[in-house]
Structure 1
């Protein structure tokens, strides 16, 4: 078992489950950001969502690589949930009409911000753990944390720029 700076060792079962939960969330996030990209296609915000979709997809892949590097196995149940979520996600559950207007467009943007906020919490947690567990590379985790904050700002900016058209006459 790896030694840590504080003499404490990681609780592998809980850490593996936590990371797997976040990977499931990341897979959902990628699908929702792809849907948002379709929503904003042809608008001035399309590039924002194209860029965010790529970043978030890369981060999901990095999280999966980390899980495997730690020697953890994916939960078969969570993998099945991810597969089922992919089927449901094709129907666009947050914004089925893929429109940036109205409450569906607003809820889609708020959902995206929530997803990125959850990811920020993951990186903050791993940053704390990096002080106790040398398997976590603190400089890279800080970069990922900074990216999550920038992603939240980007989605918030789209929401702020488009909210008046949704709610004001």
Structure 2
């Protein structure tokens, strides 16, 4: 705890590592939403996942830009992990988002919601820091928080609308 008169200063090493962790996760998120788009190709949800993939990609780019604006650098190790993950995602024979049906399809949609929820936590954290650190754009963080909520609602809608086809007989999506 702190006295009301205590000035807060950013702990740069911690904040830099935190943002870098989220950037690494965002890069994975873009790949997973891309895989979801491919899974739902040809269905009524194809455009939904294409739009989500684009939004997630744009947010990842914005986070990367924020890291640079704040004067932080990416961890070389995390950057390498990201590159390996991207290559594995392109070359690997197993696409974790490939089914869309059954219990794995349900789990995949729940995982996408968890990814967006983690991103929502990032924006909430940065909003809390913005009260003490003028480098953050509060209106933009609020926009990002609102977008994360809409994205969660969108994935939840797909999950809810398609769950009967996964778990009940005689129903197809």
Q: TM-score, normalized by length of structure 1?
A: 0.93
Q: Which has the higher contact order (CA 8 A, sep 6+)?
A: 1
User: 1:62 & 1:55 partners in 2: Cα distance?
Assistant: 10
Structure 2 residue corresponding to 1:94, chosen from 85, 93, 96: 96
Instruction: Tell me the residue number matched to 1:9.
Output: 9
SS in 1 for 2:99: coil
Question: Structure 2: which 5+ runs fail to align?
Answer: none
Question: Structure 1: which 5+ runs fail to align?
Answer: none
1:50 aligns with 2:50: yes
Shift of 1:153: 0.3
C-alpha offsets along residues 105-156 of structure 1, whole Å, 9 cap, x if unaligned? 1121111101000000000000000110000011100000000000000000
Shift of 1:93: 4.3
**Larger of the two Rg values belongs to structure:** 2
User: 1:19 & 1:28 partners in 2: Cα distance?
Assistant: 14
Shift of 1:6: 6.0
Instruction: Tell me the residue number matched to 1:138.
Output: 138
Matches within 5 A, 1:97-116: 98-116=98-116
Q: TM-score, normalized by length of structure 2?
A: 0.91
Shift of 1:51: 0.5
Shift of 1:8: 1.2
SS in 2 for 1:58: helix
Equivalent pairs, count: 163
Contact 2:130 2:138 in 1 (8 A): yes
Shift of 1:33: 0.2
